[in-house]
Chains A and B, each alone.
Chain A
């Protein structure tokens, strides 16, 4: 559809959001990602039954951890949409990008840069 969406987003394709482990999310932040969001199928429409539900639980788990350690739980998010809904995908990308811009860069990234210097 050639819709425009923000540039700072790296898409990592997985067969189902249920493949995404809590550790993938945490390691992404450890390595300096400013935000992580998962885009999965609509609830009830998961090809593997409940992969997207598990993904949502893991996002919640990661959110709690990120809040406790001071990185910010709002940096991680779970979205559900139909794989044919291109405009909504672009909307979510814009929304998440806007949220992360407002929150600023990942403090871990800044801390690593300072350490390396």
Chain B
């Protein structure tokens, strides 16, 4: 899922300090799971902002809505009849949601309420780690389900570098060497032939480095 972290309240206040009608817009999916932008966090932020403004003598209306998602037309349309009441929206969705909301309601300033970090997993409550960097050419089949593009600091594709020591990466001894993990996993799966088979030069055009990307499925388009 997309992992995000709450923005400091001071930063959000700086954006909306001159507004009078604010909507805090949450998202029920990834940011709810990483406890950064769901209904609870919307409530907390709205309460904090109400108290801040009261404390500073401003009369401000702050409403709270949490949509199922902010990256699909259908869900964003749910607020079309109400959006004009607000002079600012703080969206607690990931960067995707903030942008799509801004595209749809371009007359209203939409401010981000979270920092979008990476695609990752919940290792434990309160601990999220990166697993995928959306390179567009998945090679997990030959690496035992462990990604060298996202988990290897050098993103190398044919085995560890010389800096791999004791199963840890040379950039930080708390980070596992992805290639050590891959070799261990392939050994356990009895598939070390996959390791011996050379991975060809990667087509990076589908990675972020190739520019903003698109997936177009003609079979799904009417």
Enumerate chain B residues within 8 angstroms of A22, measured Cβ to Cβ.
40, 44
Contacting pair A112 B54 (CB below 8 A): yes
Q: Verify B44–A69 contact, CB threshold 8 A.
A: no
Smallest CB-CB separation from A22: which chain B residue? B44
Provide the bound-state CA to CA distance between A69 and B10, in Å: 8
The size class of the interface chain A forms with chain B is 10 to 19
B residues in contact with A70, CB < 8 Å: 52, 55-56
> Is the CB–CB distance between A26 and B59 below 8 Å?
no
Instruction: Give which listed residue, B9, B43, B48, B57, contacts A111 with CB less than 8 A.
Output: B57
Residues of B within 8 A of A66 (CB): 51
**A-B interface contact total, Cβ < 8 Å:** 48
Question: Is B122 interfacial (CB 8 A cutoff)?
Answer: no
B50 at the binding interface (Cβ < 8 Å): yes
Give CA–CA (A114, B54) in the complex, Å: 10
Alpha-carbon gap, A27 to B10, bound state (A)? 20
CB-based nearest B residue for A21? B40
Q: Which residue of A lies closest to B126 (CB)?
A: A57
* CB of B47 closer than 8 Å to a CB of A: yes
List chain B residues, Cβ under 8 A from A71: 51, 55
Determine if B51 and A69 form an interchain contact, defined as CB atoms under 8 angstroms apart: yes
The residues in B between 39 and 71 inclusive whose CB is less than 8 angstroms from any CB of A are 40, 43-44, 47-52, 54-57, 59
A65 and B48 within 8 A (CB)? yes
Contact A29 B51 (CB under 8 A): yes
Counting CB contacts under 8 A, is A115 at the interface?
yes
A91-117 residues with Cβ-Cβ distance < 8 A to B are 107-108, 111-112, 114-115
A108 cross-chain contacts in B, Cβ below 8 A:
51, 54-55
Rounded to whole Å, the gap between the CB of B34 and the closest CB of chain A is 15
Residues in chain A near residue B43, CB distance under 8 A: 23
Kindly report which residue of chain A lies nearest to residue B50, judged by CB atoms.
Answer: A30
Q: A22-B40, A115-B54 are in contact. List 9 more A-B contacts (CB 8 A).
A: A23-B43, A27-B47, A65-B48, A69-B49, A69-B51, A70-B56, A71-B51, A71-B55, A114-B57
B contact residues vs A (CB 8 Å cutoff): 8-10, 40, 43-44, 47-52, 54-57, 59
Residues of A within 8 A of B (CB): 21-23, 26-27, 29-30, 65-66, 68-71, 107-108, 111-112, 114-115
Chain A to chain B: the 5 pairs with minimum beta-carbon distance, closest first: A26-B47, A69-B52, A111-B54, A70-B55, A68-B9
List 10 A–B pairs whose Cβ atoms lie within 8 Å, in order of A's numbering: A22-B40, A26-B48, A26-B51, A27-B47, A65-B44, A68-B10, A68-B48, A69-B55, A70-B56, A115-B54
